[in-house]
């Protein structure tokens, strides 16, 4: 989930760099089973928790957290110095 969220950022699917994510808590929705009340396993997760659900939840959580802060897009640029004779440039202005 973390690597997927960092590979495709929230604004325009750009790579995200220099970000630390600290997971403070996890909440899981539970439902009560309609079985006997003295059973210690009377509660279960509302949905089956699989790896795909965990990855998708972590990715969407990180993306939402990134959108709560001011964002800045950084675009690299290239500076070029060209040394040539006037004959090599021809009709180039």
Q: What is the pTM of this model?
A: 0.55
HEC secondary structure over 2-60: HHHHHHCCCCCCCCCCCCCCCCCCCCCCEEECCCCCCCCCCEEECCCCCHHHHHHHHHH
Instruction: Locate 9 and state its tokens.
Output: 């950022």
Consecutive 10-residue averages of pLDDT for the chain (93 residues):
79 82 82 68 75 84 86 80 76 63
DSSP notation for 61-81: HHHHHHHTS------------
């Amino acid at each position: 989930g973390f690597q997927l969220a960092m590979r495709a950022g929230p604004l325009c699917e750009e790579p995200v760099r220099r970000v630390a994510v600290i997971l403070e808590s996890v909440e899981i929705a539970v439902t009560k089973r309609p079985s006997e009340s003295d059973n210690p396993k009377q509660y279960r997760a509302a949905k089956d928790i699989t790896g795909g659900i965990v990855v998708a939840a972590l990715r969407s959580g990180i993306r939402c957290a990134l959108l709560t802060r001011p964002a800045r897009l950084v675009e690299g640029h290239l500076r070029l110095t060209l040394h040539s004779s006037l004959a090599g440039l021809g009709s180039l202005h």
